[in-house]
Structures are given as structure tokens and as C-alpha cells.
Structure 1
Amino acid sequence: MKMKKMTAALLASVMAFGFCGSTVQCEEQETAVENAGEEITITDMIGREVSVTPGSYERVVCVGAGALRMYSYIGDVNLLCGVEDIDNTTLEERPEMFDSVARPYVLAYEEVFSMLPSCGVGGPMAQAAEAEKILSCEPDIVISEFEDVEKEDALQEQLGVPVITLKAGSKGVFDEAFSGSMELLGVLFGEEERAEELIAYVEAEAAEITSRTADIAEEDKPAVYICGLGNWGTTDHLMTAENFVSLNIANVKNVLSGTGMEGIQPIEEEKFVELGEDMDIIIMDAAAVKNIIPLYQEDPTMFDTCKAWNNGEVYLEMAYNAYYTNFEIALCNSWFVAKTVYPELFEDVDMMEKTNEITNMFLGQELAEEIFACPSSFGGYQKIDTATFFGEN
């Protein structure tokens, strides 16, 4: 059959935040769609060329952190023929470290996942796919988030079916790697329109947040400290970032601006104390609260220098990272950040309604109540009463 190549990492949809690719790439994507049912060669998100037959797959396995989540946004979960133990909440023996945190794809499709055989343990300790368990599920395609070219090539050779690797990117839901992964899934499963719809929605949401806040004068911007970022369960009030996408999109002043930090990392306690008097607002990721509470109870003076703490300007956003990025929650958090910092500009935004809207777009279900009911959500987006929340005496 005639072979055609497209570059999935830059599949084009004209996006204001760098999601767009070239006209040539748009034409290549259209060619792939036109040839649905024919074998083509795609380039997955880590640069591997793989022969696939778009629209032909009926037995799907997803392995690695985030793979099943991303597939759930685009693909039909009824095509799944296996699931990692971490995503089957009915199993007695399985990784449970994320069970108290909202993972919307699990909330949406928990019943479907519970009926499927195991394709591996999954979870942060699983550093490689389990080929034998995957083979026992008899998939005709594997969607993976193990971003290692040699391992993915070896797994594909063992399984004898296409192994397609996705990627998220450091900017999460706003990263072109995320949009590229959605486009790639759309091509593989004949869901191009669905992929385009989701990408366009994310782009429009980001653009609206930015446009609402574009005219705020620098001197009128409160200084925000966002913390508890990074890997769920391993972070606290010192884990933060200077260049954090949700703050950037909402034109929010980061108290760390100018420090030269790269990525998400902890600051020293001395730096936290030094910056405390400049912190107008603190936003904490809910996943870190379980670590911050005992630290505070051990040393109640840890926030004494922090203006936001003393003024009662401490807020809770939902955990955006649990078995990799909760993309829909990351988008919800961006709205919450903007509403928290600029309440007058976002007075019309109700976080329960916005969360339902976003989860409905991503997963076809309104999940706000279930997300907020998870133990580590502490009831949902809120301004924290520190005296009761952190157990002050």
C-alpha cells in the first residue's frame, strides 16, 4: 500500500498559544484522514516512526502515567481490553497512592475500568511496561506514556502491534505536546473532529482568561505565591515555580519573578521567609496539604512572616497532578487563579459550573461534585480559614 508520513508532534490546528503547525503539516494531516483504512506511517510524540492503519483498531491497551487519561479524552473506552491496576479501584492489591485525589478519567469511567483484565500494575514505581500482561489482553494497538525510544521499540517488537507514545509537555494542557497527542489520537481512532474540538476549546478558554486580564496595570497586580506544585505526595509549601503557565495566562504577578528559577522546584526556607512580606496571595495545590499541615503543627511560626497568611488571603486549588497531569483540572485551576487574583473581572464565573463545563468537554460528564468530594479535595476550590484548616490553637 502507498505509505504516507505525517509529523504528529506538530500536527496543525491554528492555536494562539503555539499549538499551530505549518500549512504543509495541515495538508499531511488531511491526507492521513482521507486515507483512513489504509496503512500509513506516523511519527509519534517521541519521534518514532510507526506504521498504523487509522480507524481499524478495536482492542486498545494504555500503559504509563497519563496514557489512559489522554486516550479517554479522545478514544472510545469500550475499545479497551485491559487496564493498569492503579486505575481499577475494585482490586484489593493495587497501588493506592492516588486514591484520595481526584482523577476525573477514573471518576468518569471507573465502572468500565473495573471490568477489564490487568495489563500491568502501573503507578510511579512502574518504570517499564509489562509485556506479558499486555500480551494476555490481546491488544491490536498500545498507547503508551513511557517516553523512551529504545524501550518503546523493544516493546513493539515483543508485542507485534503498534506502540504509540504520547507526551504531555511542561505546560500541561496548554503545551503543544498535549495538543499534538490529541491530534495523534484523533488520527489513530478516526476521531479527528473530536480532537480538533477539544484543542480549540482549550485554546479559547486560555484566550478568554488572557483577554479579561490583559489591561491590568503592573502596579495593580497583587503578588501571588503558588505552592505545593509538582509530584503528588512529595511536595509542600516550598515547592513552587517562577514561570508557571496558569499564572502567565492570567497575567498574574508571580512573587518569584526575577529569581531565575527554572521549572518547578523547592525554594529554601530562608527565601520563603524573605519573600513573605511581598506575598499578597498564596494559592496551595490541594495535594500538598497533607504534608503542609503536620509541618505547620510542628512549627506554627513557619508562616509568621507571610503577609497573605496574616491577612487571610490563602486559597486552595485542586490537585492537578495525580498519576501525571489532570489536564482538565489544570484548566479549571487557571480559571480559579484568575478569579482569585482578579475577583471583579471574574465575578460571573462560578467554579462549580466552570468545572462541570470543562469536565463535560473533556470526558462527557459533569464531575465537579465528585471531584470536590474526594478526600484530598477538601470540598473544592475555596479561600482557606487557616485557623481551622491547619489546626491552629
Structure 2
Amino acid sequence: MKNKLFALVLALVMALSLFGCGQKPAADDTDDAPETVTVTDMIGRELELTPGSYQRVVCIGAGALRLYSYVGDVSLLCGVEDIDNTTLSERPQMFDGVARPYVMVYGDTFAALPSCGVGGPNAQAAEAEKILSCTPDIIVSEYEDTDKADALQQQTGVPVVTLRTGVDGVFSDDFRGSITLLGKIFGKETRAAELLSFVESETAELGRRTADIAEDAKPSVYVCGLGNWGTTNHLMTVQDYSTFRVAHIKNAVSGLSASGIQPIEAEKFTALGADMDIMLIDAAAVKNIKPLYAEDSGMFDSCKAWQNGQVYLEMAYNAYYTNYEIALANAWFAAKCAYPDQFADIDMTEKLNEITGAFLDKGIAEDIYRMPNSFGGYQQIDTAAFFR
């Protein structure tokens, strides 16, 4: 009996051994390990990164969290700057009345996170100790300074990836590069490509609708209220405005000695007024224009656009740097104001919902309009009543 039992066990062991010999060996866990690659960030720093592996993210500096919110998974955030946590009483509050769509969509998520620093336009450097307390495994930064990025990386022991925004905002190579970089780092290449494809399509459509308009048929358009939120007014303008370039809009301003957003002299504004067919006012400037208009309305009333009721309000696109989705919507609004026939089919609420849906997966036009410093949304202004 024992011999039979032994023979049976031996046969079973041999069968199992033969079965095992016919199987492929189990894959080594290292075969599936994420690959480390060399990545160049937007200020030219080379970093050794492991795309798709990061689980704890902090974003610091003006615009970093906004850009990440367009592409990345906000559930991976492990800290947030105070300026983006609207539940805190002690925080920079200069943007509370203006729309910041990424905060409007993800504010509840941000409110549940610990602080990685105060943030805000007055913050000149990252707060390493607060960042370390959040235990990130990667830092996304908008402090466009190589020495600061290298120092922070050394202090924290985790990669610091620096983005760049660019003077042309949503239409810039820097925006495209930053979105592409985020997609690569966080394994969101498809999402990044979809967003950039949408922006490219919108840009192309703006150009297509306006490309054949003759120069002598183009109205002269003045845009103001650009630049820093707290100081901008009717004199703050730009001659090389990417929005106008994309939509083939004739800029009332030319011949300035410098490029970029800048104030012009009051005399220059008055001189331009006679040929100013349309005035676009960014909502950021309204609070500063109102007292100026009350003090001396003559400068404004002398403008052709003011006299003819051709003054329009666009949404504030600059709040803790550029609201890229609003900047794109503003381009459609500017084109609609300049060329109403070519854009008669465009409803700005529908367009803004489409754009915020593409950027943040949610149409929030009405929420944007309800913000105090949106003044009800895109509109043609009755200047006498509006600035009273």
C-alpha cells in the first residue's frame, strides 16, 4: 500500500514538474517599471524624470496650478498656495472678485489641501519649508529663474519643472510647450494634444473668417485695461496684440517705442480718439476707470467710439497671470465687435461654455458672468450709465 502511495505521489510531482517546464517564467517586475527619460523644461533645464510615476504634486508661482489643472489630475495635488484656497481668511485677496476658472471648477479640491506657500503676485520665491511639509514627489513651478529652480530642487530633493507662459498667452509657443511638457511628465499626452488641437482649431477659424476683409473696411480698434490687475486703466494698452493679429483686427495703436503692454500718455489717448472706431475695455480696468471718468469725463467723451456707443466690455483675462480660456474667448468677442457680420452666428455665452468645457471639462460661462468684476458678462456698454 505504501509503495503504491509513494508511486502515486512521485508521478504527481513529476507531472507538475513537466507542466512547470512548459510555462513561460513570470515576468520580472522591473520589466514594467516606468522608464526614466531626460526632459528639458521651459527654461532650458535638463531633468531626469519618470513620466507617469508621480503621485504627489505641488504647483507654485503665477499660473502653474492653472496650467496643471488643464492637463493633470488634480487628485494628485498634495498642497496648494494660499491664494488658490478661497476658504482661508489670511491669504492674498486681490483676485477674489474676478473669475479664475480653474479655481471656480476645482476650488473644493484646493480647499481641502494644506498650504505649500502664500503665493500671489507679491511672492518672489518659493517657500521650501512649506513645500516640504506637503511631501511632494514633483514640483511644477512658474518662477522662471534657473538659479531659483536649481536651489529649490536641491532643498527639497525632488524634481522642479519650470513652465513658461509667453507674452502671446494662449496663442504662444510657450503655452503650447508648457501644455505638451505637462502631458509628457504626467502621462497625459492625449489630453494635452486634444487641448492644443482645440486651441489650434479655434485660432484657425478666427483667421478664416477674417482673412479676406479688406484693410480699408477694417474699423480701428483700441483695447485697454491690460496688464497688472491693480493698476490698469484706459491708458494701458498694447500695439502688438496677439488677439488682434490672429483675428486680423486693425489696432488703433501703433508707433510706440517699445513692445508689450504699456501705458500711453493721456495726450496720445486723446489724439487717437478721433479715429478710434471701437474701444474694448478689459473688465480689470473698470474699477480704476470709474473714478477717473467721474473726475474728468472730457477725455473719454472726446473719443469717437465713446460718442458713437461703440464701447465694449471683455472679460478680465489676467488674474494671477493669464486666464487662457478667457483670453481665447476674448479673441472671439473682439472679432465679433469688429466684424459683426462675419460673427453674427456666434453667441458669446455658448462660445465661452465651449471653451471652458475644452479647457476644464465644464461650461461655466454663467458662473464667470456672476463674478462681481465681470459686471454681467460680455456686453456693449452704455458708458453714461455704466461708469456713473
TM-score where L is the length of structure 2:
0.91
Partners of 1:36 and 1:54 within 8 A in 2: no
1:58 aligned residue:
55
1:294 aligned residue:
291
Unaligned runs of 5+ in 2: 1-31
Match of 1:346 among 343, 357, 360: 343
5 Å matches for 1:175-194? 175-194=172-191
Q: In structure 1, the residue corresponding to 2:312 is in which secondary structure?
A: strand
5 Å matches for 1:242-257? 242-257=239-254
Give the counterpart letter for 2:321 in structure 1.
Y
Q: 1:325 aligned to 2:322?
A: yes
Shift of residue 261 of structure 1?
4.1
Match of 1:356 among 341, 353, 366: 353
What is the total number of aligned residue pairs between the two structures?
A: 357
Shift of residue 303 of structure 1?
1.0
Match of 2:232 among 225, 230, 235: 235
Distance 2:194 2:318 in 1: 24
Match of 2:40 among 43, 60, 63: 43
Give the counterpart letter for 1:209 in structure 2.
L
Give the counterpart letter for 2:113 in structure 1.
L
1:131 aligned residue:
128
2:162 aligned residue:
165
Runs of 4+ deviating beyond 2 Å: 257-261
Q: In structure 1, the residue corresponding to 2:340 is in which secondary structure?
A: coil
Give the counterpart letter for 1:208 in structure 2.
E
Shift of residue 284 of structure 1?
0.4
Q: 1:151 aligned to 2:148?
A: yes
Shift of residue 300 of structure 1?
1.6
Q: 1:70 aligned to 2:67?
A: yes
What is the CA deviation profile of residues 198-227 of structure 1, one whole-angstrom value per residue up to 9, with x for unaligned ones? Answer: 111101101100110011011100000000
5 Å matches for 1:7-156? 37-156=34-153
2:215 aligned residue:
218
Distance 2:386 2:313 in 1: 11
Partners of 1:36 and 1:53 within 8 A in 2: no
Q: 1:203 aligned to 2:200?
A: yes
Give the counterpart letter for 1:126 in structure 2.
A
Q: 1:381 aligned to 2:382?
A: no
Q: 1:284 aligned to 2:284?
A: no
Distance 1:203 1:132 in 2: 40
Give the counterpart letter for 1:186 in structure 2.
G
Worse overlay, 70-79 or 294-303: 294-303
Give the counterpart letter for 1:247 in structure 2.
F
Distance 1:208 1:233 in 2: 34
Shift of residue 304 of structure 1?
2.6
Partners of 1:36 and 1:190 within 8 A in 2: no
Distance 2:259 2:43 in 1: 23
Structure number with larger C-alpha Rg: 2
Distance 2:161 2:338 in 1: 40
Distance 2:196 2:336 in 1: 23
Shift of residue 231 of structure 1?
1.3
Q: In structure 2, the residue corresponding to 1:123 is in which secondary structure?
A: coil
Distance 1:335 1:232 in 2: 22
Distance 2:93 2:330 in 1: 24
What is the CA deviation profile of residues 89-120 of structure 1, one whole-angstrom value per residue up to 9, with x for unaligned ones? Answer: 00011100001010000000010000000000
What is the CA deviation profile of residues 234-291 of structure 1, one whole-angstrom value per residue up to 9, with x for unaligned ones? Answer: 1100000111011111111111134454111011000011110000000000001000
CA RMSD of aligned residues (A): 1.0
Q: 1:309 aligned to 2:306?
A: yes
Shift of residue 36 of structure 1?
8.4
Give the counterpart letter for 1:381 in structure 2.
Y
Distance 2:124 2:253 in 1: 34
2:8 aligned residue:
none
Distance 1:246 1:98 in 2: 23
Distance 1:37 1:99 in 2: 41
TM-score where L is the length of structure 1:
0.90
What is the CA deviation profile of residues 18-57 of structure 1, one whole-angstrom value per residue up to 9, with x for unaligned ones? Answer: xxxxxxxxxxxxxxxxx98111111100001111100000
